[in-house]
């Protein structure tokens, strides 16, 4: 089986003035089609850089990033990217924001009725039916996140990239949106790469968890999470197996804490 995403000895250096920032160093990783892969690690370890490279928003310094067997040399239109900020357009309604990806590229020739059906389907999927005509300023933070997720899903990408999408939310809302995300993803066949600082969140969601070292980011360890699906994101964390996974991941991360690196 060809990996959907592959990092082949990838390194990345950023330049700030005369200083060099080594974000990634010799990272090799294969992401399986249809899996939910979580990436955890200390701040500045290159987690977001992995997503940016997958999306084709930047190029590696050395090595190669491949998507479905092909080198990623330009913007990767087969992935959707959910960033930490929702980036909804304030002058557009929920319906108009969600439908934005259908206004460009191969969707220009889609009929208005087909677009409307697809937009309504994904608005319903994320629980925003009835709020189609609301503007972002009229929505709660959680509702804005739901709208952002619907916008990312509406053009039905093969792969979804998520960069700490729930990091700024309160604990109760985070659990709700984690459950919504799993319900949307499970059985879809889509690949999901999810970056987080939160070990508990990573275990609750993922098939595998990648642990990154402090800068320059390397892969410290990979844990297969064999908790059964479908998962209840609230109750699963009370299972003995969950505690064992947490201890394993924490053991891989704690060296960075000893070195004074920020970890959440």
Paired sense of beta strands 5-16 and 19-31, if any: antiparallel
pLDDT of the residue at 260: 47
pLDDT > 60? residue 52: yes
250's tokens: 């924490």
192's tokens: 């999901």
Q: Burial letters for 5-35: b for 16+ Cβ neighbours within 10 Å, e otherwise?
A: bbbbebbbeeeeeeeeeebbbebebebeebe
pLDDT of the residue at 109: 79
16's tokens: 């700030």
Chain segment 19-42, per-residue pLDDT in tens: 888 899 999 999 999 999 999 998
Chain segment 62-79, per-residue pLDDT in tens: 999 999 999 999 999 889
**193: confidence class by pLDDT, cuts 50, 70, 90:** very high
Chain segment 206-252, per-residue pLDDT in tens: 999 999 998 889 999 999 999 999 999 999 999 999 999 999 999 98
223's tokens: 């844990």
pLDDT > 80? residue 93: yes
Return the domain boundaries, the chain.
Answer: 89-157
CB 141 within 8 A of CB 169: yes
In this structure, the number of other CB atoms found within 10 A of the CB of residue 107 comes to: 15
Chain segment 153-191, per-residue pLDDT in tens: 888 888 999 998 887 677 887 888 888 889 888 888 899
Half-sphere exposure of 264 (CA within 13 A, CB side): 14
CB 159 within 8 A of CB 193: yes
pTM: 0.87
């Amino acid at each position: 089986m060809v990996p959907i995403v592959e990092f082949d000895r990838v390194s990345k250096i950023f330049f700030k003035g005369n200083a060099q920032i080594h974000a990634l160093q010799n990272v090799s990783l294969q992401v399986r089609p249809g899996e939910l892969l979580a990436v955890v690690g200390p701040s500045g370890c290159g987690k977001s850089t992995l997503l940016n490279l997958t999306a084709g928003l930047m190029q590696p310094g050395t090595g190669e990033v491949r998507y479905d067997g092909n080198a990623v040399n330009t913007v990767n239109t087969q992935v959707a990217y959910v960033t930490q900020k929702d980036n909804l357009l304030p002058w557009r309604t929920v319906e108009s924001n969600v439908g934005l990806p259908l206004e460009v590229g191969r969707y220009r020739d889609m009929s208005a009725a087909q677009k409307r059906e697809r937009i309504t389907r994904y608005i319903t999927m994320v629980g925003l039916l009835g709020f189609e005509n609301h503007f972002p300023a009229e929505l709660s933070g959680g509702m804005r996140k739901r709208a952002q997720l619907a916008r990312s899903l509406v053009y039905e990408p093969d792969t979804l990239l998520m960069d700490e999408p729930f990091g700024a939310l309160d604990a109760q809302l985070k659990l709700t949106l984690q459950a919504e995300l799993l319900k949307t993803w499970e059985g879809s066949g889509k690949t999901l790469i999810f970056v987080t600082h939160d070990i508990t969140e990573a275990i609750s969601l993922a098939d595998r968890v990648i642990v990154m070292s402090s800068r320059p980011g390397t892969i410290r360890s990979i844990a297969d999470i064999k908790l059964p699906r479908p998962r209840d994101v609230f109750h699963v964390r009370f299972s003995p197996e969950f505690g064992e996974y947490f201890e394993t991941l924490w053991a891989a991360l704690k060296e960075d804490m000893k070195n004074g690196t920020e970890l959440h």
